[in-house]
Structure 1
């Protein structure tokens, strides 16, 4: 089993000692209730670095008062067993009091990239994400840090934050892991009713249809977005929040299909909000 650290000081000391002995460190920050998507990140960290580390912390700063902080699923024993199977050597499992012993007066915000999409839907979210990830990067020290591409806006925010603040962190994006029917893995999938779960793969089918249209020559951003909107709109269980073609680096909305882009989607199934995306490259 991995060595479990309840304190920042203990986790930091263990990783500092690994680097002092000549080992490089791979780090995977998580909020727990781990699934195969997280496992793919931890396996990548273990395969590419001498020492793999992870954190399990449900960060209150990134939840609004109306969101599911108290109900967020947790299963620490299962999480640690999965981390062990993936080759993780050290896991930080801090309490809220350990991470935030005093009211937080210092926060990290990333402008522009956070202005739309998830940032508009959840105004407090990305400042909470950037603040906790910045703190974790400070604790972990020089390392490679692995994030899934499913939360693509989050990945873009973390990449820009690390670059802007000259953090000694290489941010690594890893492919989305999906169920056999195409649904992107997410800890929130457990909230779906059977009917909602059966309907949810419509998001991936819609993205695939849009990507196929681009491959066939479609170059209108509005047309590509409409393919997704129409497909999801035809599913009674789904309510589309947005479908947007954006620049992959800046997340600026695209006027046309051109270069390295991402097609982002958010849709609601009852009270559960699911995200997905696909690369659009020409």
Structure 2
């Protein structure tokens, strides 16, 4: 046991000092990233607006508006905040790892590190799906409600507000990014024995139903974005089942066999009695 322990246990005060140091480094990294991102916040916002600009390219009179004096300023602050969180996340994750790693055994480090790496990768995959697939389709759907105002009726033209546009985009990115973390959560639960592949498979139909309900809550009220979120979540749930089965095979037992062995042990003990 002593060979697996790489470092001695630190007193509580040393842990608090170490935690303070890691928090300072994380906050400093976020602060530097925030000011750097605010310097280019207008360009970042232009990138977020690019899908809408491409759909309306060549149409005269297209614009985005803000109706409060401070609205554009706070919009750029939000852009800088979200961008800084993404840029500083690798530094923050390293600080988290350096804080908890000394208290882990070698096998625990080997088990935890892949999840720490997979978390930002899956979030980035969800954000990329939003930007390149969901947003163009959803924006095209919403633009379909415009009409030129023939037969004496007033024209219906889209003039999005900058803060509402940013809020909608950030909500989509956050929703898809968090939902794409499903395999990480489920495999972690399977690794500690809270869930099993058999249990996950038996709850498949409920998981699919919950996926569509969550998609209806988190996404805009259009069928396209809801389906584009619910289907990947259902696929990721199946991947979670496969990952749980792999973990169970590495442990050397199957859930069905494990239950049968318990029944046999109970039968043999009662017979012996």
TM-score range, shorter chain: under 0.3
TM superposition score normalised by structure 2? 0.24
Larger radius of gyration: 2
Where relative contact order (Cα < 8 A, 6+ residues apart) is larger, the structure is: 2
Which structure carries more strand by proportion?
1
